[in-house]
Structure 1
């Protein structure tokens, strides 16, 4: 089982202090499948106001194995929503479906 995570950190522009921090954990049970993420971090942009703003970004989960399927799960903490909570990606040589785009959003 492979566990990876992405941390979302809202930082005050002036004081550089963290205002809100959320972590998104993903688990995948793999054999020789190769799970890859499109990015090491998500850039959710900046905002002058905190309170009712929704921040959204996305990343791609890919199975870089040629034949083995990849099962994965995305487990957001409370207050964070994702467009895809989990599934199975076929190997690249079995046709389409070797990657999926996951949208992440939360209110701050």
Structure 2
């Protein structure tokens, strides 16, 4: 049979073992929590980055569509101006011919 001192010593050793085991478990829990937090932060950063990239792509697409619309409108206006100029050219030639004839040939 163990003496009281031996029993106290055994109890102290068991208590120390349990304390050390609790410290190790605590450290494992802290490490797991850090890893999970880092994973969540990384996922949030990735989602944020993907969202920004999508917004940028959408903005670039919108700009491209507006640019195409402006180009198409400008081309239409240029074509109208060309047509008007061609129509006016015939009228201008006719007008100048009449004025020339009036001034120099009839006049």
Q: Quick check: TM above 0.5?
A: no
User: Which protein is bigger by CA-based radius of gyration?
Assistant: 2
Higher strand proportion (structure 1 or 2)? 1
Higher RCO (CA < 8 A, seq sep 6+): 1
Higher helix proportion (structure 1 or 2)? 2
- TM-score, normalization: structure 2? 0.13
